Amino acid sequence: MRIYTLCLTLVLTGMQAMAQQKMTLKQCIDYSLNNHLSNDVYQNNIEFARQQGREAFGTYLPVIAGTGTFDYNIKRQTTIIPAGSFGPGTPEQKLQFGQPFLTNPVVQADQVIYDQSLLYGIKANVPNKAVADLSYKQNQETLIYNTTAAYVEVVIYSEKERILLNNENKYNDLLAIKKLQYEKGVATQLDYNRILVSYKNIIAEKTLANTNKQLALNKLKDAMGMSLNESVFINDSIDYERLIPDSDAGQFDVSQLYAYKISAQKIRLQEIDVKRKKAAFMPVLNGYARYGAQAYGATFNTAFDRWFDYSAIGLRLTVPIFNGFRRDSQLKQSQITLANAKQNFIINNNTLQLQYLNANTQLQRSYNDVANNQENLNLAQEVFDITNLQYQKGIGTVTDLVNAEYSLKEAQNNYITSVLNLLTSTLNNEKAKGTLIPFADKL
Query: In CATH, what number is assigned to the domain containing residue 337?
Result: 1.20.1600.10
Decide: 108 and 314 in contact? Cβ < 8 Å: no
274, 299, 319 - which closes a domain: 319
pLDDT at position 163: 86
Q: Is the dihedral of CA 208, 213, 216, 218 positive or negative?
A: negative
Determine how β-strand 233-236 pairs with β-strand 22-23.
Answer: parallel
Q: For residues 246 and 351, state if they share a domain.
A: yes
Opening angle at CA 41, ends 38 and 46, nearest 5: 130
Residue 270 class from Cβ within 10 Å (0-12 exposed, 13-18 middle, 19+ buried)? buried
Q: Tell me which residue of 206, 219, 186, 229 sits closest to 394, measured CA to CA.
A: 186
Q: For residues 165 and 84, state if they share a domain.
A: no
Q: For residues 291 and 418, state if they share a domain.
A: no
Decide: 359 and 428 in contact? Cβ < 8 Å: yes
Q: Is residue 81 part of a domain?
A: yes
Give the list of residues 6+ apart from residue 363 with CB closer than 8 angstroms, or none: 244, 247, 422, 425, 426, 428, 429
Domain tally for the chain? Answer: 2
Q: For residues 332 and 379, state if they share a domain.
A: yes
CA dist list (Å): 177 to 201, 238, 389, 394: 19, 38, 12, 12
Q: For residues 276 and 365, state if they share a domain.
A: yes
What's the pTM? Answer: 0.81
Q: Is residue 3 part of a domain?
A: no
pLDDT at position 237: 58
pLDDT means per 10 residues, the chain with 443 residues, are: 38 37 84 94 96 93 94 80 73 76 94 94 95 96 94 87 87 83 79 86 91 92 91 67 55 90 96 94 95 89 88 95 88 96 96 92 88 92 88 79 86 88 89 87 75
pLDDT at position 224: 93
pLDDT at position 190: 85
- Name residue 81's beta-bridge partners: 93
pLDDT at position 316: 95
Q: Give me the domain span that covers residue 341.
A: 10-60+115-282+320-441
Q: Is residue 152 part of a domain?
A: yes
Q: For residues 257 and 309, state if they share a domain.
A: no
Q: Is residue 197 part of a domain?
A: yes
Q: For residues 377 and 339, state if they share a domain.
A: yes
Decide: 307 and 319 in contact? Cβ < 8 Å: no
Q: For residues 94 and 180, state if they share a domain.
A: no
Q: For residues 293 and 164, state if they share a domain.
A: no
Virtual CA dihedral for 100, 103, 109, 115, nearest 10 degrees?
Answer: 30
Q: For residues 216 and 237, state if they share a domain.
A: yes
Q: For residues 313 and 398, state if they share a domain.
A: no
pLDDT at position 343: 97
User: What residue type is assigned to position 189 of the chain?
Assistant: Q
Q: Is residue 4 part of a domain?
A: no
Q: For residues 269 and 142, state if they share a domain.
A: yes
